[in-house]
Amino acid sequence: MHRALLTVLLIALLPALAAAGKTIYRADQAPGTAEQVEAGKQAFVVCGGCHGAAGAGVQGLAPRLNSPNWLATVSNAYLATTIREGRSGSNMVPWDRGLGEETVDNVVSYIRSWQTLEGIKLDESPLTGDVQTGAALFRDICAACHGVRGAGYAAGVDGIGIGRRGYLSVATNGMIREMVRNGKDKTPMESFTKGSAVIIDDLTAADVDSIIAHLRAQAW
């Protein structure tokens, strides 16, 4: 074939080739192979009693793992570390010894296979805002569902233990910002910055940062 014609053809084909390889996963959200997903599905049986067979979660017992924007937010490392180390002070026990590293990775692949949204680029810019303001906002808005000290279910509430070190040591500011600004899809955790008829919805980006600064200052 004529060289020039070949080049023209290739250039015309490039967008189609790029689209075929397009993925919804962020670099730190690599999906597993079909085998890993299947093995993870088998292993997930031990998780389903609390998190629901397909990760739908059970209010006040275990959080939703198939929430669309939450899955698009969390990295594989966040999932693997949480599963391996658990969340001290909650019913989420460490699974590293019980399952072994390979099985933990398979379970991560299975959870990742539920992802439907494109990975969200998180705002990991330095925190602004101040601890005092954040403490007041947390007390007035968040404590009702997460506990006065952020203990979560242990305090008899429906939200998870976002005041504990077990959560704060793995959750980045960008992840927490995404959840508070936009809510956690398909859960009672609504957006606190966007229009809603039923909840306080006018927190500024600085307010959200103040709450995170408060959580980090009081982590226990």
Touching ligand HEC, residues 3-32 (CB under 6 A): none
What minimum distance in Å lies between the beta carbon of 146 and ligand HEC? 6
What minimum distance in Å lies between the beta carbon of 199 and ligand HEC? 6
Draw the binding track, 73-92, toward ligand HEC (x: CB under 6 A; -: no contact). ------x--xx---x--xxx
By beta-carbon proximity to ligand HEC, the closer residue of 8 and 49 is 49
Residue type, 134: G
Residue 147 in the binding site for ligand HEC (CB under 6 A): no
Draw the binding track, 39-58, toward ligand HEC (x: CB under 6 A; -: no contact). -------xx-xxx-----x-
At residue 93, what are phi and psi to the nearest 5 degrees? -85, 165
Q: Up-side HSE of residue 146: CA atoms within 13 Å toward CB?
A: 19
The residue within the footprint of ligand HEC, chosen from 152, 163, 173, 210 (CB under 6 A), is 152
Neighbours of 12 (CB within 10 A): 9
Residue 213 tokens, joined: 């600064």
What minimum distance in Å lies between the beta carbon of 77 and ligand HEC? 11
Specify the stretch interacting with ligand HEC by CB under 6 A; choose among 11-19, 21-29, 115-123, 187-195: 187-195
Residue 141 in the binding site for ligand HEC (CB under 6 A): yes
Residue 213 in the binding site for ligand HEC (CB under 6 A): no
Dist CA 156 CA 147 (whole Å) = 8
Dist CA 170 CA 166 (whole Å) = 7
| Residue 114 DSSP class | T
Q: Which helix (H) or strand (E) holds 117?
A: none
What minimum distance in Å lies between the beta carbon of 154 and ligand HEC? 8
Q: Are 187 and 67 in contact (CB under 8 A)?
A: yes
Residue-wise burial string across 171-198, b where 16 or more C-beta atoms lie within 10 A, e elsewhere? bbbebbbbbbebbbbebebebbbeeeee
The footprint of ligand HEC (CB under 6 A) covers 46-47, 49-51, 57, 62-65, 70, 79, 82-83, 87, 90-92, 95, 107, 141-142, 144-146, 152-153, 158-162, 167, 176, 179-180, 184, 187-189, 192, 211
